[in-house]
Chains A and B, each alone.
Chain A
Amino acid sequence: MVSVGNEHRLDARGLLCPMPVIRTQERVATLQPGDTLEVVCTDPGALHDIPAWCRVHGHEVTATRREGTVITITVRVAGT
């Protein structure tokens, strides 16, 4: 089942890890289950840290895109 939630965007460009993860965590805390958050960042460390953070909290990474130095990671917020 695919639940359709609201789409949100977080600009974490220029931040170094663990700041992109911290900003993602803060933002996800304000979202509803099923919502998606597109995190845009430039630190390659986020490619490891954001999925790891999602795994320990049960959220899902639905897409990862890399265009030049810009990385976009899409997170679907888990139910509580």
Chain B
Amino acid sequence: MAIPLAASSPTVASSTPRKAVALISGGLDSLLAARVMLEQGIHVEGINFYTGFCVEGHTHAIRREHQDKPKRNNALWVAEQLGIKLHIVDVIEEYKSVLLNPKHGYGANLNPCLDCKGFMVKKAREWMEQNGFDFIITGEVIGQRPMSQRRDTMPVVARESGAFDRLLRPLCAKLLPETLPEREGWVDREKLLDFNGRSRKPQMALAARYEFVDYAQPAGGCCFLTNEQYSHKLADLWQARGSREYDLDDIMLLKVGRHLRPRPHFKLIVGRDEGENNYLEGYRKRFISLRSPVTPGPLVLIEGENLSEEDLALAARLTARFGRGRESTGVTIEIARPGEAVRTVTVAPLPADEVPAQWYL
């Protein structure tokens, strides 16, 4: 492949700008990294991967408590701020092998961060090659994440993704060896940054300089797998099934409701508000569902098989426990099996002290 002569200043010397594909999560770092490249006259388009575990999107829309906030897709919001195209890619199926067999293992929870970053950069590299782009940028910062963003793991990502020196991290490039875009003069290394560590202050200062406001700052990052409670529910699901298979509905349902496993062979998913009840409604064709037709309360799904009458009675008493009738002596509960007539029972709500803490997932 012929590499054109290096230009000392790409913004003035080259008529067709070099092209970079930017990994865009919707957070601040990737926004800034892309902005730094645009400032150097690089043509940037964003790519965003949807694994199914993304905090982004729908989950904020489901719960009522979040309904005062705008339901925006942050990656698209970032693209609009930057004036760049954004390609959202469904990697749900391919991602399974990353999650199930991470070569570099998991972080504190079921988060395979290093394998995940390598996978995403690899997908971005393939996209770059298919679309005639020149290099890849990410918002990575040395020391920002304990597993994937360390001085010793950054070369692992570059190598295992096959991106090698076509992977540029503008926010910490000055602390890393020179990459192809820098060597060739496509970008000016002097204008790149030297951020490192967990502090967010340099990013916030740069955001202020670029006049970005209202950017997303999710506390636990952008992935549910870094969340301890979520990982616990996922591990429970795998254990109960005796297999680590999952589909999109499984991992979506883990994001919704209160999950309780009163017996090893079944668990309950209890809607916590109207938004969650509405969402769970869509699954009544697949699961046994319970709710009171008269007393306000949750819609409850049962995930499990071979339920006995005692199991159903327990599920009904728990359904009553999480509704407004929890203090009454008897609550009417409808039990609906997919494709069968609805049964109605009247049960005593299970008292709080008969719900052991270990039932909660």
Question: Which residues does A use to contact B, with CB under 8 Å?
Answer: 14, 16-19, 21-22, 25, 43-45, 48-49, 52-53, 55-57
Q: Is the CB of B73 within 8 A of A52?
A: yes
Determine whether the beta carbon of B85 is less than 8 Å from that of A45. Answer: no
Known contacts A16-B57, A22-B88: does B80 contact A45 (CB below 8 Å)? no
- The 5 A-B pairs at the shortest CB distance, nearest first, are namely A16-B58, A52-B76, A17-B57, A56-B79, A49-B73
B212 on interface, CB distance cutoff 8 Å: no
Closest Cβ of chain A to B215, distance in Å, is 15
A25 touches B61 (CB 8 A): no
B264 CB–A CB distance under 8 Å:
no
Least CB distance from B285 to A in Å reads 11
Asked if A14 and B282 make an inter-chain contact with CB atoms under 8 angstroms apart, the answer reads yes
Given A16-B58, A45-B71, A48-B73 in contact, is the A21-B88 Cβ separation under 8 Å? yes
List residues of chain B with CB within 8 A of the CB of A57: 85
Q: Which residues of B contact A21 (CB under 8 A)?
A: 73, 76, 88
B19 to chain A, nearest CB (A): 16
Q: CB-nearest residue of chain A relative to B58?
A: A16
Q: Do the beta carbons of B58 and A48 come within 8 Å of each other? A: no
Q: Per a CB cutoff under 8 Å, which of B70, B86, B252 touches A56?
A: B86
Query: Of A22, A43, A56, which is within 8 A of B85 by CB?
Result: A56
B124: shortest Cβ distance to chain A, in Å? 16
* A48→B89 CA distance, assembly (Å): 18
**CB nearest to B46 among chain A residues:** A56
- 14 residue pairs of the A-B complex, CB under 8 angstroms, read A16-B57, A17-B57, A17-B73, A18-B54, A18-B58, A19-B90, A21-B73, A22-B90, A43-B61, A45-B61, A52-B73, A52-B76, A56-B76, A56-B80
Q: Return the chain A residue nearest B48 by Cβ.
A: A18
Once bound together, how far apart are the Cα atoms of A43 and B252, in whole Å? 14
> Separation in Å of the B46 CB from the closest CB of chain A?
8
Determine whether the beta carbon of A56 is less than 8 Å from that of B84.
yes
Q: Which residues of B, 67-113, contact A by the 8 Å Cβ criterion?
A: 70-73, 76-77, 79-80, 84-90
**Shortest distance in angstroms between B332's beta carbon and chain A's nearest beta carbon?**
27
Which A residues are CB-close (under 8 A) to B54?
18
Chain A residues, CB < 8 A from B88: 18, 21-22, 25, 53
**What residues of B have a CB within 8 angstroms of the CB of A48 in the complex?**
70-73
Specify the chain A residue showing the minimal Cβ separation from B278. A69
Provide the residues of chain A in CB contact with B252, threshold 8 Å. Answer: 16
Q: Closest Cβ of chain A: how far from B56's Cβ, in Å?
A: 7
State whether the Cβ of B246 lies closer than 8 Å to any Cβ in chain A. no
Whether the pair A43, B70 counts as a contact (CB closer than 8 A) is no
| Contact between chains at B71 and A44 (CB < 8 Å) | yes
B359: Cβ under 8 A from any A Cβ: no
Give Cα A18 to B61, complex, Å. 12
Is A45 in contact with B282, judged by CB distance below 8 angstroms?
A: no
What distance in Å separates the Cβ of A35 from its nearest Cβ neighbour in chain B? 19
Please, how many angstroms separate the alpha-carbon atoms of A16 and B59 in the complex? 9
A55 to B80, CA, bound (A): 8
Contact of B61 with A44 in the complex, beta carbons under 8 Å:
yes
- Are B50 and A22 in touch, CB under 8 angstroms? yes
State A64–B282 Cα separation when bound (angstroms): 24
Please measure, in the bound complex, the distance between the C-alpha atom of A41 and the C-alpha atom of B102, giving whole angstroms. 35
Quick one: closest B residue to A57, CB to CB? B85
Q: How far is the CB of A63 from chain B (nearest CB, A)?
A: 20
